[in-house]
Amino acid sequence: MSHFVLTCTGCDAEHTVTMRVLECSACGCPLRIDYRGAGPAGAPMQVPLRRPAAALTLGEGNTPSIAMPAAGIAAGVEQLYGKLEFSNPTGSFKDRGSAMMMSALVEHGVGEVVEDSSGNAGASVSAYAARAGISAHVFAPDSTPKAKLRQISVYGATLHTIEGPREEAAAAAIRFAESRNVVYASHALSPFFLEGMKSFAYEVSEQFPGRMPDHVVFPVGNGSLLIGAYMGFEALAERGRLSRTPALHAVQAEAAAPVAAAFYDQPWIKAEGARTVAGGISVAEPPQLHRMVQALRATGGSAATVGDDDILRWQRLLAEREGIFAESSAAAAFAGLEALATRGIISPGDAVLAPVTGFGLKESPAAQG
């Protein structure tokens, strides 16, 4: 008997634990992990692994949170902290999810996986696959920054560049997985990947023992960090280890804003040819849209959209005034914070945390789709 089950986030149907099923067979919604017991020893919080002590690791997590006073003044808040997720082994927060998902894949004896990505998740999955001896196929848009494509290849993954927007890469990955009967290790859908993201919340609660931040502002595409952090805060609250969950906010690029639209009950249709420099958050149809909106609403958070000019202005500002070279998708969170402060949703006296999700060297200066 496993100490957890896979439960549908839509209809609550339970599914046998397998690495091959990502959506409910009854209603098509994504699955979550529900724990039925403490599980094996070896991890401070519950994890969906049989042997947590033997989990794959490249030293991910435990990223620093540092004060960013100059950026705070520019955004209109007195207390701003950045959690430096680019300190993770492959330069982005995705390593939290990859470590957990790839560990589960190893436990299930999987030897080959398919993934699609705007770059960072692909690089991260490739690194952990290399470590695990699993062969990985990564599908990425051909507009992905060269540095990220190179990073995927250097770990030995087979890179498939696909013409067109991000959705084309996802569709090609699914076709490939089905035709070859290979496991689709989708970071956007895998409940194991999301479980790995919970550590972000655990670390925040340890790094801010006196006063938790009032707000956490996330750059959001598929929402893995937003949903994972929300689940982590919930798990801490259930154990009486958190007095209050911070308000969680989603920032999206104007060109790809389905979450912001859904939060404000507005329809959203991707404009033909709409592009953004922030390729990491450019997701037109995120499969976990409802869970994201629920996380924002349940915590008293909100959503904001930002244009490329503001994203690039914040990328420069963070580098020049804080010494932090964030990739554009990461800088978007700070542009969104400024927008939320301007709208009065975040007050000047509130304490705010934003993850710096990816390192600036991962992308070339030219715009990508």
Ligand X SMILES: Cc1ncc(COP(=O)(O)O)c(C=O)c1O
> Which positions lie near Zn ion, rule CB under 5 A?
8, 10-11, 13, 24, 26-27, 29
Residue whose CB is less far from ligand X, 39 or 220: 220
**Region from 28-36, 98-106, 277-285, 343-351 binding ligand X, contact rule CB under 6 A:** 277-285
User: At closest approach, how far in Å is the CB of 69 from ligand X?
Assistant: 23
- Contact characters 206-225, ligand X, x per CB under 6 A: -------------xxxxxxx
Region class of 76: left (phi > 0), else alpha (psi between -120 and 50), else beta: left
* Residue 101 vs residues 44, 244, 302, 316: alpha-carbon distances, Å: 18, 29, 29, 34
Tokens of 312: 């690039």
Q: Is 121 a residue that touches ligand X (CB under 6 A)?
A: yes
The DSSP bridge pattern shows strands 112-116 and 135-141 to be parallel
**What are residue 135's phi and psi, to 5 degrees?**
-90, 135
What residue 22 binds from Zn ion, ligand X, none (CB within 5 to 8 A, per partner kind)? none
User: At closest approach, how far in Å is the CB of 24 from Zn ion?
Assistant: 3
What residue 11 binds from ligand X, Zn ion, none (CB within 5 to 8 A, per partner kind)? Zn ion
Residue whose CB is less far from Zn ion, 26 or 67: 26
Residue whose CB is less far from ligand X, 52 or 114: 114
What residue 339 binds from Zn ion, ligand X, none (CB within 5 to 8 A, per partner kind)? none
Residue whose CB is less far from Zn ion, 72 or 191: 191
Query: Which one among 301, 336, 358, 369 touches ligand X, defined by CB under 6 A?
Result: 358
Give the Cα-Cα-Cα angle 142, 145, 146 (nearest 5 degrees): 85
User: At closest approach, how far in Å is the CB of 310 from ligand X?
Assistant: 16
Residue whose CB is less far from ligand X, 39 or 155: 155
Q: Is 280 a residue that touches ligand X (CB under 6 A)?
A: yes
Q: Is 369 a residue that touches ligand X (CB under 6 A)?
A: no
Residue 179 CB coordination number (10 Å) = 8
Residue whose CB is less far from ligand X, 52 or 125: 125
What residue 220 binds from Zn ion, ligand X, none (CB within 5 to 8 A, per partner kind)? ligand X
User: At closest approach, how far in Å is the CB of 333 from ligand X?
Assistant: 8
DSSP structural state of residue 280: G
Amino acid at residue number 273: G
User: At closest approach, how far in Å is the CB of 349 from ligand X?
Assistant: 27
Contacts of 359 (CB under 8 A, 6+ apart): 86, 91, 92, 325, 326, 327
What are the DSSP calls for 47-83, one per residue? -S-S-GGG---SS-----EEE-HHHHHHHT-SEEEEE
Residue list 14-73, contact with ligand X (CB under 6 A): none
Query: Which one among 95, 327, 338, 350 touches ligand X, defined by CB under 6 A?
Result: 327
Tokens of 241: 């280890």
User: At closest approach, how far in Å is the CB of 37 from ligand X?
Assistant: 29
Tokens of 112: 């080959």
DSSP structural state of residue 87: G
What residue 9 binds from ligand X, Zn ion, none (CB within 5 to 8 A, per partner kind)? none
**What are residue 21's phi and psi, to 5 degrees?**
-105, 125
CA-to-CA distance for 292 and 87, rounded, in angstroms? 25
Residue 64 CB coordination number (10 Å) = 12
The DSSP bridge pattern shows strands 351-355 and 183-184 to be unpaired
User: At closest approach, how far in Å is the CB of 145 from ligand X?
Assistant: 10
Query: Which one among 281, 296, 331, 341 touches ligand X, defined by CB under 6 A?
Result: 281
What are the DSSP calls for 300-360, one per residue? T--EEEE-HHHHHHHHHHHHHHH---B-HHHHHHHHHHHHHHHTTSS-TTSEEEEE--BBG
Size of the site for ligand X (CB under 6 A): 19
Residue that is written with structure tokens 């070859």 in the block: 180
Number of helices followed by number of strands (H, E) in the chain: 11, 13
What residue 26 binds from ligand X, Zn ion, none (CB within 5 to 8 A, per partner kind)? Zn ion
Interacting residues toward ligand X by CB under 6 A: 92, 118, 120-121, 219-225, 280-281, 283, 327, 329-330, 357-358
